[in-house]
Every structure is written in structure tokens, then in C-alpha cells.
């Protein structure tokens, strides 16, 4: 477990207390049942902005606090525990990271302060199929006007219906599968020719399908060098993978706590079921795997903050390790609770549904096993 600074420990405790009292899983359930199509509550998001969470990764010159990825991960973990929905991950981590790593000073000045104050939601538009395959980007960005003309589609775009801007991975040269030929373009959500439609998902979050019908943007929309975005895109994605792994850790840890509490209180045959040896052994094994997952996630977060040269390896390891634990832990949550675990009235089903979406986001276990092996030279 990472050794936290006094400030990090305070932020973690603040986040833990806040999500339990102001943004518990019951609010997600109420939102799902009473506001179909709305993915988060504006007052929840505004509270996060007011607490400074939206600027955790943004330098002070743009209004942020620049407290680093470990601090951001601590917050995401607590949000994952209560399934709290917000644009924090998609915009304040992924969108801000894209601007910080690939944007020029003018682009950063225009949007980073808006990300911090919550007036802009900037999200990455990458996937084009159900499989995570960045190099297979096919959406075409050809010459148009004094910039680019985009044609194609993107799918499963996080916070796609509420976003104000999209960082779009587009192909400006080559063919799908080529690492070279991909560029990143900043596209306003209200650009002429861009249409978006909601994609209902089992976790009741905001995902959208974007259709680019000859969408024109000027040359100032280009983030970084044309045709050469793949290295910086992978760096952005690794930070996204590590951040989402932190959220997954929180979701899995809460599932473990719910299961442990049930083992301590549910009685059968005159004894609490946690006293049964088989169930005690299962709980011990799950706890060990939870701590192993925590070590992988925190090592990856610290590696980003240290600008280490093995961030990609640790990102793949963390996403794969915590993905496997979350899959098994969400299943155990249902199984050990028995019949009640199968009912919609009990929260276990909400955790299972969120788990399945998180497991596939930014690459599933198979993707990251293969990537880790390749990075290690196998």
C-alpha cells in the first residue's frame, strides 16, 4: 500500500465521507429509476468541482492544483465504491490529459480552466467497434477548407451526450491497422455535421455514438503532430487505463466489504455463515487478491507521477489484475448472498453491471495480457 502524504490522506478521507453521505449508490438507483437518459446529477458534479477534484491533474497556472495521479486515483477509488456517476474520469482525467500531453499553449489556455470550473466537459472519442483497438482507427480526416473534414463514426464515447468537446482519434494517412497515420483533433460538440445518439448500457451511464458527416474543423483543431499521434495517444490511454483501474478497485473493494459484512451477520444452522470453513477460506483468498490488485494500481499511479519508463507495463498489469479480481468479486457478491443477490432491490446487481462495463473499457483482460507480454518481449 502506498504511503500517503498528509494532504493525500485528507483528500482520501474527504472523498470517502462525501460519497457515503452525498453520493451513495442509492442516488444512482434513484437517478436510473426516475430520470431515464440522465447519467449524472448536476449537483453531484458541481460539488466535485467546488471541492477542487476537477482540477486535480491540471497545473496551477490554469486554475488546478496539480496534485498528481495517485491523488486522483484515491478519489476515483472512492467514487467506484458507491458507483458515483460524474464526468470526473472522462473529462478531468482523460480529457485534461489529452490537452496536457498533446495540446499547444493556446489549446490548453482555452480549455483547461474550463475543465477545472466544470463549464467544459472534454472527452475522448476513440472506439469504433466493440473491441478496443486504437491502431485500427478508420474514421477519416481528409483535407477540407483550411483544415480537416471528418467522416465516420465513433461509439461507446464516455459522457458523449453531455460533452462540450471531443478529442477525436482520426486517420489522416495510411490504413486501419497502421500505427502511423493517426491524428488527434479537437472537435466542438456543436460542430455542423456532428450528430450524437445515446447508447443505453447496463450500468446506466452516459455513452454515445457519434456520426461525423463531413464535419469541418480548421487546422488549429490539431492536437500535436499530424499522422504521428499514436505514441501520445497510447500515453493518454495508459493514464486512462490506470485511472479506470483505480475506480474498478473501489468497486471491487466495496463488493468485498458487502460480502464480508454478510458473512458476519447471516446465520444458518445456528451460526453465522462466516464461521463455516469453506466460506472463510474464500473470503481470505479474495482479500489477498484485493490487496494484490491494490498494489498493482497504486504502483501504476505512482509510476505516472514519477514519469517512470515502465508506465505502459504497469498500466497493462493493473488493468488486467484488477479486471480479473473485479469479475470474480462481483460474481462472489451475487453468489454468497444467494437469492437476495439476484434481486434488483439489492445493490449487488448494480455492482455486477458496472463491473462488466468497466472490465471492457480501455481494453479487456485478454488485450492487456497480450500487451503486457509484448512489452516484456514475449
Q: Which residues of 185-217 are buried (b: 16+ CB within 10 A; e: fewer)?
A: bbbebeeeebebeeeeeebbbbbbbbebeebbb
Q: Could you name the CATH architecture of 123-227?
A: Beta Barrel (2.40)
pTM, rounded to two decimals = 0.95
**How far apart, in whole angstroms, are the C-alpha atoms of residue 165 and residue 125?**
10
> What DSSP string runs through 66-125?
---HHHHHHHHHHHHHTT---SIIIIIIIIHHHHHHH--HHHHHHHHHHHHHTS--EEEE
Using DSSP's 3-state secondary structure scheme, residue 36 falls into coil
Using DSSP's 3-state secondary structure scheme, residue 361 falls into coil
pLDDT at 328: 96
Q: Could you name the CATH architecture of 231-375?
A: Up-down Bundle (1.20)
147 - beta bridge partners? 144, 218
Q: What distances in angstroms separate CA 13 from CA 6, 7, 144, one per listed residue?
A: 11, 10, 51
pLDDT at 271: 72
Query: Which residues in the chain are classed under CATH 2.40.110.10?
Result: 123-227
Half-sphere exposure (Cβ direction) of 175: Cα atoms closer than 13 Å: 0
Q: Which residues of 28-54 are buried (b: 16+ CB within 10 A; e: fewer)?
A: bbebbeeeeeebbbeebbeebbeeebb
The grid cell for 367 is 488485450
Query: Which residues in the chain are classed under CATH 1.20.140.10?
Result: 231-375
pLDDT along the chain (378 residues), means of 10: 89 96 92 80 95 97 97 98 97 98 97 97 96 95 91 96 97 94 97 95 93 95 95 98 98 94 75 72 92 97 97 98 97 84 83 96 96 94
Q: Return the CATH superfamily for domain 6-117.
A: Acyl-CoA dehydrogenase/oxidase, N-terminal domain (1.10.540.10)
Query: Which residues in the chain are classed under CATH 1.10.540.10?
Result: 6-117
| Residue 70 CB contacts under 8 Å (≥ 6 apart), including other chains | 2, 4, 8, 298, 301, 302, 305
**How far apart, in whole angstroms, are the C-alpha atoms of residue 265 and residue 272?**
6
Amino acid at each position: 500500500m502506498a504511503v500517503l502524504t498528509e494532504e493525500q490522506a485528507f483528500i482520501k478521507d474527504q472523498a470517502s465521507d462525501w460519497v457515503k453521505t452525498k453520493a451513495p449508490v442509492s442516488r444512482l438507483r434513484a437517478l436510473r429509476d426516475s430520470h431515464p437518459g440522465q447519467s449524472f446529477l448536476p449537483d453531484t458534479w458541481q460539488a466535485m468541482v467546488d471541492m477542487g477534484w476537477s482540477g486535480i491533474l491540471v497545473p496551477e497556472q490554469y486554475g488546478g492544483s496539480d496534485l498528481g495521479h495517485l491523488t486522483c486515483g484515491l478519489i476515483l477509488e472512492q467514487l467506484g465504491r458507491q458507483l458515483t456517476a460524474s464526468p470526473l474520469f472522462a473529462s478531468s482525467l482523460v480529457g485534461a490529459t489529452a490537452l496536457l500531453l498533446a495540446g499547444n499553449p493556446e489549446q490548453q489556455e482555452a480549455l483547461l480552466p474550463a475543465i477545472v470550473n466544470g463549464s467544459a466537459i472534454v472527452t475522448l472519442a476513440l472506439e469504433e467497434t466493440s473491441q478496443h483497438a486504437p491502431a485500427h482507427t478508420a474514421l477519416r480526416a481528409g483535407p477540407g477548407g483550411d483544415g480537416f473534414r471528418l467522416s465516420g463514426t465513433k461509439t461507446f464515447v464516455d459522457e458523449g451526450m453531455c460533452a462540450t468537446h471531443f478529442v477525436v482519434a482520426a486517420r489522416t494517412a495510411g490504413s486501419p491497422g497502421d500505427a502511423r497515420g493517426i491524428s488527434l483533433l479537437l472537435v466542438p460538440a456543436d460542430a455542423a455535421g456532428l450528430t450524437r445518439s445515446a447508447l443505453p448500457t447496463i450500468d446506466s451511464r452516459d455513452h454515445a455514438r457519434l456520426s461525423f458527416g463531413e464535419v469541418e474543423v480548421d487546422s488549429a483543431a490539431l492536437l500535436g503532430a499530424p499522422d504521428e499521434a499514436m505514441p501520445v495517444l497510447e500515453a493518454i490511454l495508459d493514464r486512462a487505463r490506470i485511472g479506470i483501474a483505480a475506480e474498478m478497485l473501489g468497486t471491487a473493494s466495496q463488493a468485498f466489504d458487502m460480502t464480508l459484512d454478510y458473512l458476519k451477520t447471516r446465520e444458518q444452522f445456528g451460526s453465522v455463515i462466516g464461521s463455516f470453513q469453506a466460506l472463510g477460506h474464500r473470503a481470505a483468498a479474495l482479500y489477498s487478491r484485493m490487496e494484490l490488485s491494490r498494489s498493482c494500481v497504486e504502483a501504476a499511479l505512482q509510476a505516472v507521477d514519477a514519469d517512470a519508463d515502465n508506465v505502459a507495463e504497469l498500466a497493462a498489469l493493473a488493468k488486467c489484475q484488477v479486471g480479473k479480481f473485479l469479475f470474480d468479486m462481483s460474481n462472489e457478491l451475487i453468489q454468497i448472498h444467494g437469492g437476495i443477490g439476484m434481486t434488483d432491490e439489492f445493490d449487488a446487481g448494480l455492482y455486477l453491471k458496472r463491473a462488466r462495463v468497466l472490465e471492457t473499457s480501455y481494453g479487456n483482460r485478454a488485450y492487456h495480457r497480450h500487451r503486457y507480454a509484448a512489452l516484456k518481449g514475449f
